[in-house]
A = this chain, B = another copy of it.
Amino acid sequence: MSDLPHISRQFSQRSVMEAIVQGGPISRASISKQTGLSKQTISEIVRGLEQEGWVQETGRTSGHVGRTAVTYELVHDAAYIVAVDLGGTKVRVALTDLACQIFAEAATPTDPRGGQFVVDQITTLVFQAAARQRVPRKKIRLAVVGVPGAPDPSTGRILLAPNIADFDTMNVLDAFEKALGVAVMVENDVNLAVLGENWLGQGQGIDNLAYVALGTGVGSGLILGGHLVRGATHAAGEIGFMPIGADPFAEESLRTGAFERTVATHAMTERYQSLSGKQVAVPAIFENAALGDKDADAVLDETARYLAQGVAAIAAIANPEKIILGGSIGLRPEILSRVKALLPRCFPYLVTVEASELGSRAALIGAAAIGLGQLHNTLFGVDAPDGRISLPPTQAAALKQAVL
């Protein structure tokens, strides 16, 4: 229960930092106006931040009436964070500086042996990228790793992660912390995707937002009331188990959920095979549909029909303002247009449905978001506990562009 002794200082420092991050080069007088704190206080706080190496003088204003002002800016390379999006087939790694600029980005196929091999693979990738950009390891303060599955914070294991071997039995958090030598946060990849879209994508400023990723599996991430929803066992968003589509009481639905069995990759290929007799992969189904294949078209219709129901269930329970579709299947415009048409026919209230703008990089950007938020919080005082720091538009644009 005991409060921190000097909470007010932290609050002020945080808002001064925020003004500097957003306001680019900014004078102390302007910060004072923005924050409502006195000029005196701003000078003190900025002096402190400058001494600790977080901000620096960058120039003077001119052209205005009155005395010129000294402007201050972030020291971009004062700290770095690592963002990792670990998928079943691909790993993406990014290095971001304090000013939220991506410094280096790399991607490779995931080591199929899983477990410690993947941890080592990522570690190598990170250190290579750091070396290439001459980023000293000491300045890396935090790593955020997105994984498919439900990370259990008490044991460090990742439950429900069938795609990466051993992650459900080893302490993944510890392994990463030992290998990288920095604090690590492990988070579900779809949760990071919502955070990413909420920060820089289609869900900016939307406090009630859902992200539905549809590909090999299904998953969803929810931001409600401005907070990321994780659930009791960090398994919120495991919508594959919704009782929609296949018979939920079938034995098999306890292993692979009913909803996943009717909308994910496997369901589409099977459905196409039962209609046409041909066994083709999902991308080919989309191609065939575009070429006028009736069976392929029917498969897309059917998939969208169930997906719309899944979206309706989320909307009924959580009432998000917007639902963003992602994942290899969810990103396809053929699916989006169908869902948009079908949703109003099975759900009465307005819900915006859109395709993910950040696409496959949503989770990576979400990892950066949560990491930068966390870093700013620990360094400059608590504000919003869950991620989300505001960025100036220029830097946001830079983040959205893929380096690789």
* Cα–Cα, bound, A347→B35 (Å): 50
Which A residues, 197 to 246, have Cβ-Cβ distances below 8 Å to chain B? 206-208, 220, 222, 224-225, 227-244
Partner of A319 from the list B234, B254, B305 (CB cut-off 8 Å) is: B234
**Judging by beta carbons under 8 Å apart, are B318 and A318 in contact?**
yes
A320 to chain B, nearest CB (A): 6
> Is A269 located at the chain interface by the 8 A CB criterion?
no
**Judging by beta carbons under 8 Å apart, are A235 and B309 in contact?**
no
A196 to chain B, nearest CB (A): 19
> Is A312 located at the chain interface by the 8 A CB criterion?
yes
**Judging by beta carbons under 8 Å apart, are B313 and A244 in contact?**
yes
Q: Decide: A317 near B321, CB < 8 A? Known: A8-B7, A231-B224, A349-B235.
A: no
Residues of B contacting A1 in the complex (Cβ-Cβ under 8 angstroms) = 15, 18, 34-36
**Judging by beta carbons under 8 Å apart, are B231 and A319 in contact?**
yes
Q: Decide: A318 near B241, CB < 8 A? Known: A3-B11, A248-B312.
A: no
> Is A253 located at the chain interface by the 8 A CB criterion?
yes
**Judging by beta carbons under 8 Å apart, are A248 and B317 in contact?**
no
* Tier of interface size on chain A: 35 or more
Q: Decide: A239 near B15, CB < 8 A? Known: A8-B3, A8-B8, A232-B321.
A: no
Residues of B contacting A244 in the complex (Cβ-Cβ under 8 angstroms) = 243-244, 313
The winner among A234, A248, A254 for most chain B CB atoms within 10 A is A248
* Cα–Cα, bound, A11→B382 (Å): 15
* Cα–Cα, bound, A45→B160 (Å): 51
Partner of A241 from the list B208, B236, B347 (CB cut-off 8 Å) is: B347
**Judging by beta carbons under 8 Å apart, are B240 and A229 in contact?**
no
* Cα–Cα, bound, A305→B253 (Å): 15
Residues of B contacting A6 in the complex (Cβ-Cβ under 8 angstroms) = 8
* Cα–Cα, bound, A262→B236 (Å): 26
> Is A348 located at the chain interface by the 8 A CB criterion?
yes
Residues of B contacting A220 in the complex (Cβ-Cβ under 8 angstroms) = 317
* Cα–Cα, bound, A101→B310 (Å): 44
**In the complex, which residue of chain B has the Cβ closest to the Cβ of A315?**
B241
Pairs of residues from A and B, 5 with the lowest C-beta to C-beta distance, nearest first? A231-B319, A2-B36, A232-B321, A236-B319, A248-B346
Instruction: Other than A227-B227, A230-B319, A241-B312, give 12 A-B pairs with Cβ distance below 8 A.
Output: A1-B35, A220-B317, A224-B224, A224-B227, A224-B229, A224-B231, A231-B318, A231-B319, A232-B321, A243-B347, A248-B346, A313-B313
Q: Which residues of A contact B (CB under 8 A)?
A: 1-3, 6-8, 11-12, 15, 18, 34-37, 206-208, 220, 222, 224-225, 227-244, 248-249, 253-255, 257-259, 305, 309, 312-321, 342, 345-349
11 contacts between A and B (CB under 8 A): A3-B8, A7-B11, A207-B232, A222-B317, A224-B236, A225-B229, A229-B318, A239-B316, A241-B312, A254-B345, A314-B317
